[in-house]
Amino acid sequence: MEKSLIILKPDAVQRGLIGPIITRLEQRGLKFSGMKLMQIGRALAEEHYGVHKGKPFYDGLVQYITASPVVVIAIQGQDVIQVIRNTVGATNPVNAAPGTIRGDYGLEIGRNLIHASDSPENGDKEVALFFAPEELTTWDRNTDAWIYE
């Protein structure tokens, strides 16, 4: 089973889009294993975005993600990384297809509403960065037989 971290970024929270975005992910058939509202501190933001350190947009990313509360969600499932990335849409909302989260709700790359892990390795690493093991649940869902073959 793959794991992915979703962050509903400050713009999603401030615009009141938590419910509609979570609904889309849940209706897609994705299974949540952890979720919390939190304020990301600078140290955690710098660790999360460490791969971008030294790039011109790095400081803006850190400032933005720490500016307001976010919702972090751990999701697990079969091919979950690709399913989520397809549901979220292209990083730049201008290029995101209609029907995707960014395509329907976003306009600018700097306010693109949502983070999603880009690989199984990063999914494992990012979930561990934001959730302690005891904050994650493994559970059986009655609808799984109607979602997965």
Residues that are catalytic: 115
Query: From CA 52, how far away is CA 56, in angstroms rounded?
Result: 9
DSSP characters over 55-122: STTHHHHHHHHTSS-EEEEEEEETTHHHHHHHHH--SSGGGSPTTSHHHHH--BTTB--EEE-SSHHH
Q: Is 14 helix (H, G, I), strand (E, B) or coil?
A: helix
Residue type, 46: E
7/126 Cα distance (integer angstroms): 10
